[in-house]
């Protein structure tokens, strides 16, 4: 870069021979091996001839001063030789005092020798030619014995004179008494003293604390458990998480390996913190001052003076900046590393119970999204990185929380939105929860609510029922983003760009970085605001306190409170309904729009379970009350004129609170890219050291020039634009996904989504339509105990079946909207009846049924797997009992004589066909008084029923599910079904949509409980299978087993317990009857095998969506907040689109990475080697073109490449050190190196070049900006310019994952313009464009003499003897063809080898060790 050459030129200013060609003599031989015809060199300046006595000067150089004047030491005649004149003795070579050699004290100059003309100048021995010509001019006959060289041969013996070829004069240096250095010493010294005083004081003040901690054998206190309260509000003994049971949600707040430390502010420590921040800012300002001084922009008397602070010495200016730059860089890195510890170091360590602050130290558990096991090198680097991480304490999360005090004097702190209260009894901080019990009678018995004193006590312990999500302002969010290592790296290296008058490119790069950072900040703020909107809610609610109803904010609710539920209310806590009925909108949790009916707890001896039957009585935080109806009269529930609910969990203890907490504080995820990037950084740093050593060898430069070369070599190899390139690729992919109604809240997951190998998907609402559809009935024929024909027309069934269909459900009508279980609603719609006055059922016109009135209803309970209803036929007054439930349950409770012999077979066949099978049972009651029914227990009512028939529903596939599954499989993605539905239904759906391949044998494994052995059955033949291994050994044409496995929930738990799941996991295609926790475990097991995605649509899928490498929620509810991706288009095609766009985004990010690495290799490789070897430089404008237009423009347009139309059978690479990346980068780099080297081979064979080579002896080295006025620089400019342009083009290939190269129109336009622009400069005769870049141009007079016409634009005279660097026309086309050949070779390498047939052949012959699964 031009930047670099400014540093290297410093050494040339005095010694022109500092840079020389190591491997050839400049301008010695022509292209045919003959010695060059030596050129005439005019106006050569001769060195001063020095003697000890003027009499020793040659006669022609003897001084002859006019009368009255004397010849003085400055080599001129003066009236008087003053001290100032004598001090200008050229024979002292600007040295004086002890720096002047003793041999030079008596040297005096002769008269100056006039400039000479050398007829035959030999550039490779220019010093000898100049001495000889100057000696002849002075009439010196024998220089070899009589004239020496200053500093090499002193006067004595036969040597009577010296040539004053002065060595480089010592650079001026500071006295270090300058005001700015004194200020630097004072400020930094004061800071050092302040820190030392604080450290001594801190050590003494903390002795007693550390002694106390040593006695208790703990430096901190663990967050070991949750203090639980009894159901009457009295404290009980704290329970540890390591063993004893807790309240339901306690484990959410448990951190078994965390520790606490207390701290207290101190004035001196606070002063240290502010001082460190101030000094860091001063060092940055110091950089700014030195940069301004470089441009002569300092205000005041120094304005307009370059290098004024460095005594106008550019060398001293550069050296000083280098030191300040290094100190600032080190300081910023140290502050970054110490950031988690810095503030607390300048506080006094205290016991946690005594500190103003509590620091929570929690281990970080990084989730590694890798597709394969690391190799030996990767393991070594990972181990080294892990040790460094532990050494720097970056393996833990440090959170400092303010200790607060309640109104009653209890101390607490809030960590991750949860209040931790200090217990004097246990001497621990812990979150409090209140165990209200589980007995129905006990919960209903708390209907009178709490006293104000109890409520205040509980509020003090649990904290407000409000999850505050703090969203930072724009400035704070930007600051939080920018205080990372890579931004510090970018900041410090771009500052070097600004310093070296390269601010134009620095501004472009800074703009790109700011844009990428802004995109990340805005996406994060958008996600946090969305979460804040979901988490924070407050409204007024009626609460029972002290036996009275009072209005208060939901913030003040505590466990044990009794609240009134009213229509339209937003539930802000988890509570249980104890009186009245409620219809809830739970779409925010489940994504399902259908309201859910809630009933109160029954007054019986049952136990409440929020995940079991009690779920129908549970109101969850975040849901909305669609309708609330009080129950004034009831036989089995609490009567009240209000709808009452008992608060169970508040804040982060609620289900919604736990969800918000997991979202706000996730574990970090590491992608394989991050793992291998560590190795790449090490390799590139070593490479930069190598090229720096080579440049030093060829250049023979000074340490400052070498240091700056190293800095910019690293900057080029690890471009500051690299993180921005990756972010821009991800952001563009996220934008495209948004257009497809797929929303991304974590763009970094896009790279992970591009590597998905396994997709686990829910069934209902994901693969199938939202609800079940009525399919038909199959009734049992009277006393014959056999099935009749299956019919989809209900009117063809008997009256009893129609009566059961019309009455045995829990559907309610809310202002014309049907409320209830979706299956019940579908059953009710199929019956064709109407509801009047809530519990009266009116049959459709033309029906033989009479009007029915519901006398009593027992709602569906999962534990019983059934529901029942007692209805009265108003025509006859007869009471009927109908029971509906799972076919297994109804068989167990029905009279055995009424069950057909083929009952199990018929039910299994219907389930195998995808049917959701329910059974009906019936009996007629002898009693005719409905009041008598209210006193009969449910079990008694349901006993003795006869089986009436089967009711069948079907979950129909969405229209595009099969197409989506086929496309996913085409894209080498294994799809497994994880459902809560029955095994046979899951298998049917899997077969129907193509998850299970056609003609595959399916073996189903089930067991009654995890403690029992799994029984395997062939689903099609229904035969038991004793050993499944022989079936798994039968391989199909694809090399995989022809059999597929399916397991139920209990069987899955059994496999996990026995460890057999490890060997069978990738053979299991359907996981049925899976609870939310089972889904998480299933996803985690698959994550151990490969990159795993989870697709679901409801709140029950949220934990698995969060756990997976990639989660996509087909929902707008809370599941969409949990998952990094959500889709408003509730179709499996959203998964296809996500993988399609993510693969394109991943490929684009790696294309940008490849282009920037190749850019660095060209820049720091052959180009820099050539600049140092030939002592040349590319012109300033050309550097602007390369860095500003080529590198940045192509990087931006590469990112605009769209995705491929279909998923490819292979995933894009995510390994920087994988064979594809190494072959791609390595091949292009080697070709570029080869063609660059061959271009000079070609150049050295040209007659017009040989004997016209660039020589530092024939050019003015002080004009560094003109060091490109030669053929060597021109050839390298054109060759490298085409290589830079080609870099962006070759990485645009990749139709497997991205649109074909000719579809990226923006890139083609930019590439075409750059190609035309550079080609014009190369092929055209001297023009304004070429001369602007000093390519194919020359001094105006020279161009005119060459027959090109006199230019009308200004051209600074060329800095070479020829006066031009115009390449002959024939050679221009030859060079152009050569550059196109270079581009063609690189493109063929990319098309044929990297992306084409060679890769396909190698992939078959030498496949990589990857996950091999049946698709």
Which residue carries 């020798």 as its tokens? 113
Indicate whether 83 pLDDT > 80: yes
> Predicted confidence band at 982 (pLDDT cuts at 50, 70, 90)?
confident
Query: Please, which pLDDT band fits residue 272 given cuts at 50, 70 and 90?
Result: very high
Token pair 């005439």 is found at 40
Please give the angle made by the CA atoms of 286, 287 and 289, to the nearest 5 degrees: 60
Angle, helices 722-739 vs 1133-1162, to 10°: value is 160
pLDDT for 1119 beyond 70 = no
What's residue 1261's pLDDT? 59
Of 602, 238, 646, 730, which is closest to residue 449 (Cα–Cα)?
646
Q: Which pLDDT score is estimated for 230?
A: 33
Instruction: Output the DSSP codes for 991-1053.
Output: HHHTSSPTT-EEEEEE-SSTTSPPEEEETTT--EES-SHHHHH-B-TTSSBSEEEEE-HHHHH
Is 467 within 8 Å of 652 (Cβ atoms)? yes
Cα distances (Å, whole numbers) of residue 1046 to 758, 917, 984, 1001, 1072: 16, 19, 9, 11, 7
Asked if residues 508 and 300 have their Cβ atoms less than 8 Å apart, the reply is: no
Token readout for 1006 is 């089930």
The whole-number pLDDT of residue 701 equals 55
Q: How confident is the model at residue 863 (pLDDT cuts 50, 70, 90)?
A: low
The structure tokens listed for 723 are 């993180």
Q: Compute the average pLDDT of residues 1193-1202.
A: 84
Give the integer Cα–Cα distance in Å for 227 and 423.
8
Alpha-carbon gap, residue 1338 to 1355, rounded angstroms? 8
8 Å CB contact between 915 and 954 = yes
1098 in Cβ contact with 593 (< 8 Å) = no
Between CA 795 and CA 782 the distance in angstroms is 17
In angstroms, the CA 586 to CA 1244 distance is: 80
Predicted confidence (pLDDT) per residue in 342-390, tens digit: 899 999 998 888 889 999 988 877 666 655 566 666 677 677 777 777 7
Helix H or strand E encompassing 389: helix 376-391
Q: 1390: which DSSP letter?
A: I
Burial 1000-1023 (b: 16+ CB within 10 A, else e): bbbbbbbbeebeeebebbbbeeee
CB 1113 within 8 A of CB 1125: yes
β-sheet with 348-350: strand ranges across: 348-350, 259-264, 357-363, 396-402
The helix (run of H) or strand (run of E) holding residue 282 is helix 267-294
547 three-class SS? coil
Of 93-97, 477-481, 487-491, 1328-1332, give the range with the top mean pLDDT.
1328-1332
823 pLDDT above the threshold of 90: no
pLDDT tens per residue across span 894-909: 988 889 988 988 888 8
In contact, 1362 and 1272? CB cutoff 8 Å: no
Q: Which two tokens stand for residue 1347?
A: 């027959």
User: What digits encode the pLDDT tens for the residues 929-950?
Assistant: 777 787 788 888 888 899 999 9
Average the pLDDT over 1085-1107 and give the result. 83
Please report, rounded to a whole number, the percentage of residues in the chain having pLDDT higher than 70. Answer: 89
121 secondary structure, DSSP code = E
> What residues pair up with 368 in beta bridges, in sequence order?
670
* Closest listed residue to residue 1186, CA positions, set 1149, 1157, 1226, 1159: 1159
Give the helix, strand, coil percentages of the chain, each rounded to 5: 45, 20, 35
Q: What are phi and psi of 116, to 5 degrees?
A: -120, 165
Q: How far apart are CA 10 and CA 699, in angstroms?
A: 12
Distance separating alpha carbons of residues 1012 and 1054, to the nearest angstrom = 8
1044-1076 pLDDT, tens digit per residue, is 999 988 899 999 989 899 889 999 999 988 877
**Residue closest to 524 by CA, chosen among 1124, 1243, 1308, 1385:** 1124
Rounded to whole angstroms, how far apart are CA atoms 892 and 1081? 32
Distances (CA, A) of 151 to 21, 79, 597, 701, 1229: 25, 32, 103, 20, 46
Per-residue b or e along 216-235, where b marks 16 or more CB atoms closer than 10 Å to that residue's CB: eeeebbbbbbbbbbebebee
Structure tokens at 1379: 């550059």
Candidates 769, 988, 983; CA nearest to 888 is: 983
Q: List the 49-51 sheet strands across, edge first.
A: 108-109, 49-51, 161-163, 147-149
What angle is formed at CA 713 by the lines to CA 707 and CA 718, rounded to 5 degrees?
A: 130
Q: What is the dihedral of CA 120, 121, 122, 127, to 10 degrees?
A: 130
Max Cα separation, the chain? 156
Tokens of 451: 């006293």
Which of 856, 861, 876 has the alpha carbon at shortest distance from 941?
856
Note whether 1079 and 1103 are within 8 A (CB). Answer: yes
Q: How does pLDDT run across 760-810, given as a tens digit for each residue? A: 998 877 888 876 788 899 988 877 788 888 888 888 888 888 899 988 988
Both tokens assigned to 838: 């809530």
The stretch 1072-1100 carries a mean pLDDT of 84
Q: Is the pLDDT of residue 391 over 80?
A: no
For 546, other C-beta atoms within 10 Å of its C-beta total: 13
CB neighbour list of residue 792: distance below 8 Å, 6 or more residues apart: 774, 775, 776
pLDDT tens per residue, range 129-141: 889 899 988 888 8
Contact 42, 117 (CB under 8 A): yes
Can you tell me the mean pLDDT for 9-23? 42
Displacement of CA 705 from its chain's centroid (Å): 37
Residue 823: φ, ψ to 5°: -65, -45
DSSP 629-670: E--SS-SSBB--SS-EEEEEE-GGGSHHHHHHHHHHSPPPEE
- State which of 459-473, 584-598, 1111-1125 shows the largest mean pLDDT: 459-473
CA-to-CA distance for 1033 and 1017, rounded, in angstroms?
17
């Amino acid at each position: 870069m031009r930047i670099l050459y400014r540093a290297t030129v410093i050494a040339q200013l005095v010694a022109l021979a500092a840079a020389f060609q190591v491997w050839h003599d400049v301008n010695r031989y022509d292209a045919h091996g003959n010695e060059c015809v030596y050129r005439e060199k005019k106006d050569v300046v001769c060195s001063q001839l020095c003697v000890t006595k003027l009499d020793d000067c040659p006669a022609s150089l003897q001084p002859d001063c006019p009368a009255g004047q004397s010849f003085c030491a400055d080599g001129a005649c003066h009236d008087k030789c003053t001290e100032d004149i004598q001090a200008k003795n050229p024979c002292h070579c600007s040295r004086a005092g002890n720096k002047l050699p003793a041999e030079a004290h008596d040297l005096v100059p002769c008269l100056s020798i006039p400039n000479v003309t050398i007829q035959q100048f030999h550039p490779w021995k220019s010093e000898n030619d100049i001495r000889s010509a100057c000696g002849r001019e002075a009439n010196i006959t024998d220089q070899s014995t009589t004239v020496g060289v200053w500093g090499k041969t002193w006067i004595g013996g036969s040597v009577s004179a010296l040539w004053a070829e002065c060595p480089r004069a010592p650079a001026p240096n500071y006295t270090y008494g300058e005001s700015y250095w004194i200020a630097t010493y004072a400020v930094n010294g004061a800071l050092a003293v302040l820190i030392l005083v604080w450290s001594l004081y801190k050590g003494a003040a903390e002795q007693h604390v550390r002694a106390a901690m040593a006695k208790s054998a703990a430096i901190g206190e663990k967050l070991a458990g949750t203090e639980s309260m009894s159901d009457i509000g009295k404290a009980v003994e704290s329970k540890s998480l390591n063993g004893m049971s807790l309240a339901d949600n306690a484990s959410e707040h448990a951190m078994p390996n965390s520790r606490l430390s207390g701290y207290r502010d101190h004035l001196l420590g606070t002063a240290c913190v502010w001082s460190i921040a101030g000094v860091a800012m001063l060092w940055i300002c110091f950089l700014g001052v030195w940069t301004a001084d470089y441009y002569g922009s300092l205000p005041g008397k120094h304005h307009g003076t370059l290098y004024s602070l460095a005594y106008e010495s550019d060398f001293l200016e550069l050296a000083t900046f280098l030191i300040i730059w290094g100190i600032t860089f080190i300081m910023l890195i140290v502050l970054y590393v110490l950031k988690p510890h810095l503030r607390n170091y300048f506080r006094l360590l205290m016991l946690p119970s005594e500190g103003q602050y509590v620091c929570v130290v929690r281990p970080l558990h990084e989730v590694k999204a890798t597709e394969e096991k690391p190799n030996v090198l990767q393991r070594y680097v990972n181990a080294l990185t892990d040790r460094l991480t532990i050494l720097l304490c970056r393996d833990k999360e440090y959170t400092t929380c303010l200790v607060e005090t309640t109104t009653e004097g209890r101390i607490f702190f809030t960590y991750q939105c949860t209040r931790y209260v200090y217990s004097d009894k246990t001497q621990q901080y812990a979150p409090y929860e209140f165990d209200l019990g589980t007995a129905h009678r006990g919960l209903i018995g708390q209907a009178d609510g709490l006293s104000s004193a109890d409520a205040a006590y509980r509020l003090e312990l649990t904290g407000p029922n409000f999850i505050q999500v703090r969203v930072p302002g724009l400035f704070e969010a930007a600051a939080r983003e920018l205080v990372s290592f890579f931004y510090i790296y970018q900041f410090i290296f771009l500052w070097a760009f600004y310093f070296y008058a390269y601010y134009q490119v620095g501004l472009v790069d800074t703009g790109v970085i700011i844009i990428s950072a802004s995109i990340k900040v805005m996406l994060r703020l958008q996600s946090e605001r969305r979460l804040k909107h979901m988490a924070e809610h407050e409204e007024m609610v009626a609460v029972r306190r002290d036996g009275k109803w009072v209005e208060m904010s939901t913030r003040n609710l505590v466990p044990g409170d009794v609240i009134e539920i009213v229509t339209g209310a937003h539930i802000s806590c988890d509570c249980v309904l104890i009186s009245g009925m409620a219809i809830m909108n739970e779409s925010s949790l489940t994504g399902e729009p259908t309201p859910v009916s809630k009933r109160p707890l029954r007054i019986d001896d049952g136990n409440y379970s929020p995940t079991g039957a009690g779920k129908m009585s549970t109101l969850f935080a975040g849901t909305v009350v669609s309708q609330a109806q009080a129950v004034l009269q009831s036989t089995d529930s609490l009567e009240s004129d209000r709808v009452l609910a008992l608060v169970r969990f508040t804040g982060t203890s609620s289900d919604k609170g736990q969800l918000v907490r997991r979202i706000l504080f996730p574990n970090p995820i590491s992608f394989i890219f991050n793992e291998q990037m560590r190795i790449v950084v090490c390799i590139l740093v070593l490479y930069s050291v190598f090229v720096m050593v080579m440049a030093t060898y060829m250049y023979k430069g000074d340490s400052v020039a070498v240091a700056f070369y190293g800095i910019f070599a690293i900057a080029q190899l690890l471009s500051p634009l690299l993180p921005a390139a990756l972010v821009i690729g991800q952001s563009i992919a996220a934008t495209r996904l948004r257009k497809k109604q797929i929303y991304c809240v974590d763009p970094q997951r896009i790279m992970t989504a591009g590597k998905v190998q396994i997709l686990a998907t829910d069934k209902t609402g994901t693969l199938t339509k939202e609800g079940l559809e009525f399919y038909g009935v199959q009734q049992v024929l009277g006393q014959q105990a056999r099935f009749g024909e299956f019919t989809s027309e209900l009117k063809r069934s008997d009256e009893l079946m129609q009566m059961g269909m019309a009455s045995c459900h829990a559907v309610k009508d809310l202002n014309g909207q049907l409320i209830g279980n979706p299956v019940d609603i579908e059953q009710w719609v199929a019956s064709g009846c109407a509801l009047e006055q809530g519990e009266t059922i009116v049959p459709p016109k033309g029906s033989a049924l009479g009007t029915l009135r519901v006398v009593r209803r027992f709602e569906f309970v999962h534990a019983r797997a059934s529901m029942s209803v007692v209805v009265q036929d108003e025509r006859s007054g007869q009471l009927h009992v109908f029971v509906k439930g799972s076919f297994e349950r109804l068989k167990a409770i029905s009279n055995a004589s009424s069950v057909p012999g083929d009952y199990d077979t018929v039910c299994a066949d219907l389930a195998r066909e995808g049917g959701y099978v329910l059974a009906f049972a019936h009996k007629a009651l002898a009693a005719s008084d409905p009041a008598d029914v209210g006193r009969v227990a449910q079990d008694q009512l349901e006993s003795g029923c006869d089986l009436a028939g089967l009711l069948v529903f079907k979950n129909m596939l969405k229209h595009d599910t099969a197409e989506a599954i086929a496309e996913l499989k085409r894209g080498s993605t294994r799809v497994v079904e994880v459902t809560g539905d029955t095994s046979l239904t899951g298998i049917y759906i899997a077969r129907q949509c193509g998850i299970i391949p056609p003609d595959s044998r399916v073996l189903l494994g089930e067991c009654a409980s995890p403690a029992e052995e799994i029984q395997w059955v062939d689903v099609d033949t229904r035969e038991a299978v004793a050993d499944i291994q022989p079936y798994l050994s039968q391989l199909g044409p694809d090399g995989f087993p022809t059999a597929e496995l399916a397991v139920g929930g209990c069987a899955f738990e059994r496999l996990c317990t026995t460890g057999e799941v490890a060997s069978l996991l990738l053979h299991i295609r359907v996981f049925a009857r899976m609870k939310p926790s089972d889904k998480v475990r299933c996803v985690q097991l698959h994550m151990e095998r490969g990159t795993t995605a989870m697709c679901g649509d409801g709140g029950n899928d949220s934990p698995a969506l969060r756990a997976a490498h990639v989660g996509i929620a087909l929902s707008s509810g809370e599941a969409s907040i949990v998952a990094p991706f959500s889709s408003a288009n509730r179709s499996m095609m959203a998964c296809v689109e996500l993988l399609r766009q993510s693969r394109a985004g991943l490929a684009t990010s790696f294309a940008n990475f490849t282009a920037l690495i190749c850019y660095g290799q060209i820049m720091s490789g052959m180009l820099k080697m050539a600049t140092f070897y030939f002592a040349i430089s590319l012109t300033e404008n050309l550097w602007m073109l390369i860095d500003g237009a080529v590198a940045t423009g192509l990087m931006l347009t590469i990112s605009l490449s769209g995705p491929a139309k279909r998923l490819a059978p292979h995933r894009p690479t995510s390994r920087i050190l994988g064979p594809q990346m190494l072959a791609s980068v390595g091949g292009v780099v080697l070709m570029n190196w080869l063609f660059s080297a061959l271009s000079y081979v070609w150049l050295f064979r040209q007659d017009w070049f040989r004997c016209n080579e660039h020589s530092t002896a024939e050019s003015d080295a002080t004009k560094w900006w003109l060091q490109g006025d030669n053929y060597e620089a021109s050839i390298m400019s054109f060759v490298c310019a085409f290589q830079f342009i080609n870099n962006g083009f070759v990485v645009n290939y990749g139709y497997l994952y991205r649109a074909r190269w000719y579809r990226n129109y923006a890139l083609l336009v930019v590439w075409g313009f750059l190609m035309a622009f550079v080609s014009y400069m190369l092929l055209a005769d001297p023009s304004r464009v070429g001369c602007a870049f000093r390519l194919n141009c020359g001094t105006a007079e020279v161009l005119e003499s060459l027959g090109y016409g006199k230019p009308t634009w200004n051209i600074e005279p060329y800095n070479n003897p020829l006066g031009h660097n115009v390449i002959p026309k024939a050679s221009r086309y030859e060079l152009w063809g050569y550059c196109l050949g270079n581009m063609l070779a690189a493109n063929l390498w990319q098309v044929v080898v990297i992306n084409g047939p060679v890769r396909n052949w190698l992939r078959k012959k030498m496949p990589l060790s990857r996950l091999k699964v049946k698709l």
